[in-house]
Amino acid sequence: MAFDHIRRGGPPPFRPICDPRALDGVALPPELFVADPALRGEFFCSEPVEEAFFTPLPAAEAVRVCAALAPGVEPRRRVVTDRYVDTPELALFRRGISARVREYHLNTRPVHFEIVVLALDRPAPAVRPVARVNRVLVQTFVRNDAAGLEALLARQARAGLVEVARVDKTRTAFDILPVVGATADGVAFHGADTRLVEDLASLRIVDQGLKVVVDEFHGAGFDEPAIVEVEYDAAHVEAGAALVERLRAALGPGIRPKARNKITYLLAGSSPPLPQTLQEERG
């Protein structure tokens, strides 16, 4: 197993904390992130593999389908607003970077918001060419609140960053294989809920696990009401691929692959035209 070394008590192979100054060689504006040390934030990076589908099924039905494929797994439900942030000229997006401020209206941790940055054009893993890799940089916190969010949005506005798109959604996640992490002294934890870890600087993710997620849209510009996503650690390609094939059969006809990050679909009709490598067909 990918985390046998933790069970043996040996030192965990910590994945490095990301450098927030750049992602995939693209410089990131420092004003994108919170600078207030009182909020006790930290930066983390990961590279989960993703396979996803738009589905015409009502979101509640998609959740039921996923629950049937994850018996005994308690779903985690979040209500989220994703504010996609960029320059007015889409300078980050045109270089293959998607930045968002994620506000939680319902969350499993005492965190009101996070900053999530993705590299859009990562190549698929060689063993699973139909999938894609999301290189993700997250600034997260022990806890924060609405006042901290307002301060961040004001800081971004002063730097000339604007909201270029917004997605409101309800996210229901089933952790089939839990996230595995460890603190600097080798104490392991299982599961994505880290509210008991007060010192984020000591925390590293060892294994991204395997989960299936249903995103139900509320007023977003997509033809379908929901997306079903399978996300997994590169160590779980075989299990992830098997789950994807079971989902394809269970979701029935009408699904279409989600080939890119959501922001690409939302901006596909924008002017001036997007770079050819980022253009998408709306289907």
Residue 271 has pLDDT above 80, yes or no: no
Tell me what pLDDT residue 196 has.
Answer: 52
Tell me what pLDDT residue 283 has.
Answer: 33
Q: How many CA atoms lie within 13 A of 86 on its CB side?
A: 19
- The string of DSSP codes covering 103-165 is EEEE-SSS-SEEEEEEETTPPPPTT-TTSEE-EEEEEEES---HHHHHHHHHHHHHTT-EEEE
Domain count, the chain: 1
Show the domain range for 228.
Answer: 40-268
The residue with greater pLDDT, 184 or 177, is 177
Residue 6 has pLDDT above 50, yes or no: no
Residue 126 has pLDDT above 80, yes or no: yes
Question: Does 147 map to a domain?
Answer: yes
Name the nearest CA neighbour of 149 among 185, 96, 113.
113
Tell me what pLDDT residue 280 has.
Answer: 44
| pTM reported for the whole predicted model | 0.87
Question: Does 21 map to a domain?
Answer: no
Summarize the confidence of residues 64-82 as an average pLDDT: 96
Instruction: Judge whether 5 and 12 are in contact, CB under 8 Å.
Output: yes
Residue 272 has pLDDT above 80, yes or no: no
Tell me what pLDDT residue 200 has.
Answer: 79
The residue with greater pLDDT, 19 or 81, is 81
Tell me what pLDDT residue 275 has.
Answer: 55
pLDDT tens digits for range 16-69:
567 899 999 999 999 999 999 899 888 988 899 999 999 999 999 999 999 999
Question: Does 22 map to a domain?
Answer: no
The residue with greater pLDDT, 110 or 201, is 110
Question: Does 1 map to a domain?
Answer: no
Question: Does 18 map to a domain?
Answer: no
pLDDT tens digits for range 202-258:
777 888 999 999 999 998 688 899 999 999 999 999 999 999 999 999 999 999 999
- Say which DSSP state 65 is in: H
Rounded Cα distance between 207 and 182, Å, is: 10
Residues 6+ apart with CB under 8 A from 87: 160, 161, 162
Q: How many CB atoms lie within 10 A of CB 269?
A: 11
Instruction: Kindly report the CATH number assigned to the domain that includes residue 155.
Output: 2.40.320.10
Q: How many CA atoms lie within 13 A of 151 on its CB side?
A: 13
pLDDT tens digits for range 132-176:
999 999 999 989 999 999 999 999 999 999 999 999 999 999 999
Tell me what pLDDT residue 65 has.
Answer: 97
Name the nearest CA neighbour of 126 among 245, 207, 211, 237.
237
The residue with greater pLDDT, 278 or 146, is 146
Which residue's structure tokens are 């980022």?
278
Question: Does 210 map to a domain?
Answer: yes
Beta bridge partners of 167: 82
Which residue's structure tokens are 């859009």?
120
The residue with greater pLDDT, 52 or 275, is 52
Q: How many CB atoms lie within 10 A of CB 33?
A: 19
Question: Does 274 map to a domain?
Answer: no
Q: How many CB atoms lie within 10 A of CB 135?
A: 18
Question: Does 276 map to a domain?
Answer: no
